[in-house]
Amino acid sequence: MAAAATTARTRAVAWVDTGAIERNCALLRARLGDAQLCAVVKADGYGHGALVSAQAALAGGAAWLAVATANEAEELREEGIDARLLVMGALTSSELETALAADADVVAWTEAFVELARSIARESGQEARLHVKLDTGMGRLGTKDPVAALDLLSRINGADFVAATGFMTHFATADEPDGAFLDAQLGRFAPAAAEARGRVPGLVVHAANSAAALREPAAHFDMARCGIAIYGLSPFQRDPAEARLDPALALESYVAAVKHVAPGDSVGYGRSWFAEQDTQVAVVPIGYGDGYRRGLSNSGDVLIGGRRYPIVGTISMDNLTVDVGEPGRVQVGDPVTLIGGEGKERVLAEDVAAKLGTINYEVTTGLTARVPRVLRASK
């Protein structure tokens, strides 16, 4: 969880800019027109801190918040969040009890789950609000049969202790250049959504993730569930500036030591790098124990004093090493930026993800609890 604080020289810190999250939400909200924004703050706000991300998103115009688990909903309620919450994941009986006790909407696609929700709601005296999920091609949760989905919606609408409040799907390829499958999913969902609205007045229809919200207005419906974009990260794994998104997280450490390395000397476990000439190597106290992945060994870059330097040698659990060249360029105590910008240079989460062969989601959510999240709110 992020906490407002200042830091002296901390071995590693993730700065979280709540002002950026608020601005990204305002931007997305404007793009959505009449549709509402649901800010996805699951997985501890994609590594940024769930509570502070939720607060910033609501300040930026989000009307709903979405999480994956019942405990995530419960924690937000305990922290004083009173916005509409949607728990999107599969739930066991005890998890469903937790979600409903947190006054969250939940997702349904089977009669058995609806009956379970109805039973729990009857015992608690509190109505269960359900969003029926149609699987239009994601192949995970939801029913693939639109007739079954609509019949389930009607049964919920006619029963006591449960209410049909949403109708939804999820896109599998909205972040990919070829829009054919996105179009196909929309083609399956739109007629069912229209029928659902006719059966249940006031139903909230939602389908779009960040990518679909940015690229396809037809996917907006009544609400869009935006996750990665609210944190200023590109759902398309490109420069976020292309979509006018502002990255909210910067990862920093510092130079703990600088040492001379002679030609032929190695650095790090396994001797995966040898100096070709006299050089200086800076030791930075951050590693895969902090979520800065070992796969960046001999491939990643960091910024020191506004200059880009290569990571050399194998990244260890607690340290990495950087070739900084000739003496005098870098001093012990100098700040090191692993994600973020210094002057005209930037290392984006998307750059880190590309080197790892993964996506920016994994880069930020992979930062461990050993790295404190420290708030700063830019204007």
Cα dist from 60 to 86, 180, 218, 244, 363, whole Å: 18, 32, 23, 15, 24
Q: How far, in Å, CA of 13 to CA of 349, rounded?
A: 15
Strand residue runs (E) in 279-334 = 279-284, 301-304, 307-312, 320-325
Q: Is 344 a catalytic residue?
A: no
Give residue for tokens 């029963």.
159
Q: Verify whether residue 361 is a known catalytic residue.
A: no
CA–CA gap between residue 318 and residue 12 (Å, rounded): 10
Residues pairing with 162 in the sheet: 128
Q: Is 311 exposed, middle or buried (0-12, 13-18, 19+ CB in 10 A)?
A: buried
Dist. CA 76–CA 49, nearest whole Å: 11
Catalytic residue among 133, 269, 344, 361: 269
How many Cβ atoms sit within 10 Å of the Cβ of residue 148? Answer: 15
Query: Which residue of the set 42, 46, 133, 254 is catalytic?
Result: 42
Alpha-carbon gap, residue 106 to 321, rounded angstroms: 47
CB 320 within 8 A of CB 284: yes
Q: Burial letters for 267-300: b for 16+ Cβ neighbours within 10 Å, e otherwise?
A: bbeeeebebeeebbbbbbbbbbebbbbeebbeeb
Which residue type sits at 154? Answer: S
Query: Cα(131)–Cα(125) distance, rounded to whole angstroms?
Result: 20
Q: Using CA atoms, how far apart are residues 120 and 108, in angstroms rounded to an integer? A: 14
CB contact at 8 A, 138 and 94: no
**H-assigned helices in the chain:** 18-31, 42-46, 50-59, 70-78, 93-101, 111-124, 146-157, 180-199, 210-215, 349-356, 360-365
Tell me the catalytic residues: 42, 269
